[in-house]
C-alpha cells in the first residue's frame, strides 16, 4: 500500500524574506479552476447558437465574476447551514472566518444558481441559456479542487483492503489505516468523466435546459457513488439508510435534474 506524500501545502513562502506572503497550493487550484472556466467558456460562446445570440468574451468574464461570488458566498454558507449549523449558531462571528476552512459544493452550487439568475436578469437573457452555457465548464474546476484536497491530504477515503494496489495511508488521519484515495476518485468521476460527457453533449445545439439537466444528473450520480468511498465527516457520520450527508444532498440534485430533463424534452416536442 502507498503512503500519502505529505506535500507542503504552501507553494510559495516569502516570510523568510520579511514579507508576510504565503501562497498555498489550494489557492492556486482555485485560480486554475477559474482560468479553465474562462478558457472553456470562451470556446463555448464561439459555437454558432451562442455567437448568433450575441454572446461575447466580455460576457464570459462577467460570468466568471458572478460565479466566483456565488461559489465563495454560497460555498461558505452551505457549509455553515448543511454541516455545522449548531456550532455556528453558538459562534456566529466564525461564519466569516473562511481562512479556517469549510466550504460545501452543494452550497456553492446554490450560490452560483442565484448569481446566474441575477446575471440573466441584468442581461435580459434566459436563465437556462446561461446555465447551459456554463455547465460543461464547471467539472474541470471541480477536478482542480480535488487536486488541492489531495495535496492537503484532507477529505480522505474510507478504510480499504490493504492489498488494493492504490490503497493509501494518510498520516493526517493518525490511525495508520489503508484508505481509498477518494480525492482521486472524485477527480476522475465528478471532474474528468463528467467534463468529457458534458463537453461532448454540448458540442451540438440541445433543447433549452438539457445541458443543465445533464450536469445535475451527472454530478449527482458521480458524487453519490464517490461518497461510498469517502470517509464521512467525523462530527456527522452516516445518516438515514446508511447514507452520508453528501449523498443525501445529491438526492434533490438528481430529482431536479430528472424534472428539468423532462421539462426540456416536453418543451422541445411542443415547439417542434
User: Is the full-model pTM beyond 0.75?
Assistant: yes
Select the more confidently predicted residue: 215 or 242: 215
Cell of 162: 490493504
pLDDT at 204 over 90: yes
Give the pLDDT mean for 183-191: 96
Residue labelled with grid coordinates 454558432: 48
- Residue 75 is predicted with a pLDDT of 80
**Residues 147, 221, 252: CA angle, nearest 5 degrees:** 110
Average pLDDT of span 7-16: 85
- Comparing 60-64, 70-74, 147-151, 214-218, which segment has the lowest mean pLDDT? 70-74
Provide mean pLDDT across the span 175-200: 95
Looking at per-residue pLDDT, the higher value among 20 and 126 belongs to 126
**Across the chain, what does the average pLDDT equal?**
89
Mark the binding-site residues, compressed into ranges: 146
Confidence label for 98 from pLDDT (cuts 50, 70 and 90): low
Lowest mean pLDDT among 24-33, 55-64, 129-138, 175-184: 24-33
Amino acid at each position: 500500500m502507498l503512503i500519502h506524500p505529505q506535500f507542503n501545502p504552501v507553494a510559495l513562502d516569502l516570510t523568510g524574506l520579511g514579507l508576510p506572503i504565503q501562497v498555498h497550493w489550494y489557492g492556486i487550484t482555485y485560480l486554475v479552476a477559474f482560468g479553465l472556466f474562462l478558457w472553456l467558456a470562451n470556446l463555448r460562446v464561439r459555437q454558432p447558437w451562442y455567437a448568433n445570440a450575441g454572446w461575447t468574451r466580455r460576457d464570459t468574464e462577467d460570468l466568471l465574476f458572478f460565479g466566483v461570488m456565488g461559489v465563495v458566498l454560497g460555498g461558505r454558507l452551505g457549509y455553515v447551514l448543511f454541516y455545522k449549523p449548531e456550532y455556528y449558531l453558538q459562534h456566529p462571528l466564525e461564519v466569516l472566518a473562511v481562512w479556517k476552512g469549510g466550504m460545501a459544493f452543494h452550497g456553492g452550487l446554490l450560490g452560483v444558481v442565484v448569481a446566474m439568475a441575477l446575471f440573466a436578469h441584468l442581461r435580459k437573457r434566459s436563465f437556462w441559456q446561461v446555465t447551459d452555457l456554463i455547465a460543461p465548464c464547471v467539472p474541470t474546476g471541480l477536478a482542480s479542487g480535488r487536486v488541492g484536497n489531495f495535496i492537503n491530504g484532507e477529505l480522505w477515503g474510507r478504510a480499504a483492503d490493504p492489498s488494493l494496489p492504490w490503497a493509501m495511508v494518510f498520516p493526517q488521519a493518525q490511525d495508520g489505516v489503508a484508505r481509498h484515495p477518494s480525492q482521486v476518485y472524485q477527480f476522475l468521476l465528478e471532474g474528468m468523466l463528467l467534463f468529457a460527457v458534458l463537453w461532448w453533449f454540448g458540442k451540438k445545439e440541445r433543447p433549452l435546459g438539457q445541458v443543465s439537466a445533464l450536469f445535475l444528473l451527472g454530478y449527482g450520480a458521480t458524487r453519490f457513488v464517490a461518497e461510498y468511498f469517502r470517509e464521512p465527516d467525523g462530527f456527522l457520520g452516516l445518516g438515514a439508510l446508511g447514507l452520508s450527508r453528501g449523498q443525501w444532498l445529491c438526492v434533490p440534485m438528481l430529482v431536479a435534474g430528472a424534472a428539468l430533463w423532462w421539462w426540456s424534452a416536453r418543451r422541445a416536442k411542443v415547439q417542434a
